[in-house]
Chains A and B, each alone.
Chain A
């Protein structure tokens, strides 16, 4: 930060830094959970903020910026997912292990948290997006529908199917986890 300030950054750049720092967790988390890949997620997140910088003057309020960032992050992450033919690698696995160490909740929750990205990766793209927006971003089905341009019924159907699949996979994962730890 200091280096950039010394290079003569304008006040607007400092302001934009603050904007990045406010929203980077949200954007990066959406990108990571949709793409399932740590490096791709960072590329996507950077791309989202570069786009924000190009279009920033059109965004008036904080809510508008947050909505815009979520929408663009989902679209860019989905694009990246479609472009990528190879499945996630060691980076995402490492992240998964790091996160699981910090979690000390109940075994079921532990199993889900520990292998969340693995469970999510098993979902089709549209179901994965719906789950991320619903349970990470805590958006209502109506808000998700408005953002993605889908009917509300479709979003609800995606969520139900996703939960059914996740529950099934989580049950298997938990059994494996119990076998591994006992």
Chain B
């Protein structure tokens, strides 16, 4: 005990260790020790539990389902959800194809609707332009008729108004022809 005191010299501790190690060398177990331990383990509660567990596991094999079980399940599926069942159990590859086809149809439909709307807008614009042109022709014709009547009723021998009228008529006709040509070029169908 003295050796464990705080100020004990180090070499004395080493000596104690040596003595302890020598004294505590492993010794041989009595003959047949292992066999006796194994026998005790087999008789112990733990050993019984292990054996019992094995018996239990062997007894708890899976049993067969009643005959016609699968038919009855499929019959119920067919009765309860015939439509839904078909959709849900569709193979993945088919689902991909069907999904793709639906997406393509939607795309084509959307494109078609847009195209149709643009065509209708173009037709509306053409009708509007034609109406405006007809109205312009009507106003111009009416104005020219009035002017012609005034000139015809004028008794002054001066020929200048007549010449000016002819020039104005010519310019008007050319302008109208140009407008008509431009409208026809842009696809607007004009009446006679």
Which one of A32, A53, A57 has the greatest number of beta carbons of chain B within 10 Å?
Answer: A53
Contact B55 A108 (CB under 8 A): yes
Alpha-carbon distance between A16 and B124 when the two chains are bound, in angstroms: 58
Q: Does B37 contact A (CB under 8 A)?
A: no
Contact B88 A50 (CB under 8 A): no
Contact B89 A4 (CB under 8 A): no
Contact A135 B65 (CB under 8 A): no
Contact B89 A13 (CB under 8 A): yes
* Chain B 69-80 per-residue mask, 1 if CB under 8 angstroms from chain A, else 0: 111111111101
* Chain A 104-126 per-residue mask, 1 if CB under 8 angstroms from chain B, else 0: 01001100110010000000000
The residue on B at minimum CB distance from A39 is B66
Alpha-carbon distance between A1 and B56 when the two chains are bound, in angstroms: 36
Which among B14-22, B45-53, B149-157 touches the partner chain? B45-53
Chain A contacts for B8, CB-based, 8 A: none
* Chain B 54-68 per-residue mask, 1 if CB under 8 angstroms from chain A, else 0: 011111111111100
Chain B contacts for A170, CB-based, 8 A: 52
Contact B78 A10 (CB under 8 A): no
A132 is contacted by which of B52, B60, B64, B85 (Cβ under 8 Å)? B60
| A16 with B89, Cβ < 8 A, contacts A4-B75, A28-B69, A50-B77 known | yes
Contact B52 A24 (CB under 8 A): no
Q: Does A129 contact B (CB under 8 A)?
A: no
Q: Does B86 contact A (CB under 8 A)?
A: yes
Contact B60 A24 (CB under 8 A): no
Chain B contacts for A32, CB-based, 8 A: 63
The residue on B at minimum CB distance from A120 is B60
Contact A105 B63 (CB under 8 A): no
Q: Does A62 contact B (CB under 8 A)?
A: no
Chain A contacts for B88, CB-based, 8 A: 12, 53-54, 56-57
**Smallest CB–CB gap between B54 and chain A, Å?**
9
**29 residue pairs from A and B, CB less than 8 Å apart:** A10-B89, A12-B89, A12-B91, A13-B77, A15-B89, A16-B77, A20-B70, A21-B70, A24-B65, A24-B70, A25-B62, A25-B65, A28-B62, A32-B63, A42-B65, A45-B69, A50-B76, A50-B80, A53-B77, A53-B89, A56-B89, A112-B56, A132-B60, A135-B57, A136-B57, A136-B60, A163-B52, A167-B48, A170-B52
